[in-house]
Structure 1
Amino acid sequence: MSAAGPRADVIDEHVAALSAALHGPARAKSRLIGEIRDGLMDTAAAHAADGVPRQRAARLAVREFGTVDDLVPSCQRELTIAQARHTARTVALTSPFLVACWYLAGSIDQGQAWQLPRTAQLVAVHLAGVATFAALFAAVALAATGTLARRLPTPRGLPLVVAWAGTTASGAMAGAALALVTAAALATDWPLLVCAGALAAASHAAVAASARACRHCARLPVT
């Protein structure tokens, strides 16, 4: 084994254990883990430059940084906020698609004899309103965890609120998709409604996954 081998093994094992204990957006988590690993390597190198054997230098670096249990709470809080921002951003970006669905639904022929398509339109309109409200809240959450966070602490409960806002928005999108597809079965302008339903379904899929991850992160212990 090379001289650098033991050092890398000790640090890599520590970093791998920390990574397994953390949950959050892949990109943010990768960046955080990379920064910690770089810090450990630099600290170990400093000890080695002072004449400490490399394996002991690595162990000293790990000890100075803290155990996995020591690091997880603060690291998880950072990732939880990152996940909340990811969910809020997803809601803010996908909700306009549901508004587009509202316009598409409103453009179909309303003089037809069937009442179910008209009812489905009304359902879609109300659900679009729910998603619009969620998008406005998402914009506020992005500000609270971004520019405002430099001056004011981020409320502890905000990630969970963002998660449930995302869940509400995804539910509205799923309901709108169902209503529009139902209307498409009876409407004369069914291609427009199918397109609207597809947009709503795609938006639901994107938001639901992010909101689920946010709920999980928000329930993890943090400092």
Structure 2
Amino acid sequence: MSPIDDHVAALAAALRGPERAKSRLIEEMHDGLMDTAAAHADAGADEEEAARLAVREFGTVDELVPGCQRELTVVQARHTARTVALTAPFLVACWYLVRTADDEPAAWQLPHAAQLLAGHLALVATLAALLAAATLAATGTLARRLPTPHRLPLVVAWAGTIASAAMAVATLALATAAALATNWPLLAAAGALAATSHAVVATSSRACRRCATLPVTT
């Protein structure tokens, strides 16, 4: 492998983030190194020396990782925020379903308790969705005018974690309500949807926490 390939491979191994964004960043870095090496070759350096000079100009892996990781962390935070924004409304819908699950007195006592729980979960979902929307704005168009808060990705990661936990609890509440309500198929379907949402949000939040705790520039 050439010095450029070694350098790019070491950088790729040190970075964490969404695979598509990471691949694009590594490809851009590789293309930049190749262009710089070509310029040195045109100036008279041999191929090996041109590659070494290009690597030297770009900086060491330790120098490049913080800035690159910061970029990937913001991308992951946006991905997590988008996931929360798209799935959090399901908790509100689940709250509505539990609230209207059944009106038969014999079957309503536990669903009513589930209704109260689902109401709190709906509040969690609303707050998570608002934070997600603010994150997308802060890391999108507003990022051109204002710096992205350094702690924002970690806040998004934990907000997603809390939202995913709420979805897990909603799944249990819906399953319990379905066992007692006459229209159980609808509640069972909502529980399955809540469980799927929990899995998606939990996976994205976990990846965001890993990225947010890696070294980044301030």
Tell me the TM-score normalized by structure 1: 0.93
The match for 2:157 among 136, 156, 163 is: 163
Partner of residue 56, structure 1: 49
Deviations 1:142-193 (A, max 9, x none): 1111111110111111111111111111111111011101111221111011
Deviations 1:186-220 (A, max 9, x none): 21111011011111111111111111111111111
Tell me the TM-score normalized by structure 2: 0.95
Give the aligned residue type for 2:62.
D
Give the aligned residue type for 1:137.
L
SS in 1 for 2:215: coil
Partner of residue 138, structure 2: 144
Query: Relative to structure 2, which stretch is displaced further, 102-111 or 210-219?
Result: 102-111
Partner of residue 220, structure 1: 214
| Structure-2 separation of matches of 1:132 and 1:36 | 40
| Structure-1 separation of matches of 2:202 and 2:211 | 14
Instruction: Kindly indicate whether the alpha-carbon contact (under 8 Å) linking 1:91 and 1:166 is maintained by their aligned counterparts in 2.
Output: yes
| Structure-2 separation of matches of 1:119 and 1:152 | 45
Give the aligned residue type for 2:157.
A
Partner of residue 3, structure 1: none
Task: List alignment gaps of at least 5 residues for structure 1.
Answer: 1-5
| Structure-2 separation of matches of 1:71 and 1:126 | 44
- The 5 Å alignment of 1:143-222 reads 143-222=137-216
State the Cα distance separating 1:51 from its structure 2 match.
1.7
Instruction: Kindly indicate whether the alpha-carbon contact (under 8 Å) linking 2:73 and 2:211 is maintained by their aligned counterparts in 1.
Output: yes
Deviations 1:46-82 (A, max 9, x none): 1111121101111111111011111001111111111
Query: Relative to structure 2, which stretch is displaced further, 31-40 or 94-103?
Result: 94-103
The match for 1:21 among 2, 14, 28 is: 14
State the Cα distance separating 1:122 from its structure 2 match.
2.2
Task: List alignment gaps of at least 5 residues for structure 2.
Answer: none
**Identical columns (%):** 75
Deviations 1:75-112 (A, max 9, x none): 11111111111111110011112222223223322224
Partner of residue 31, structure 1: 24
Aligned-residue RMSD, C-alpha: 1.2
SS in 2 for 1:24: coil
Moved over 6 A (4+): none
How many residues are aligned here? 216
Partner of residue 112, structure 2: 118
| Structure-2 separation of matches of 1:95 and 1:69 | 38
Give the aligned residue type for 2:194.
A
State the Cα distance separating 1:17 from its structure 2 match.
0.8
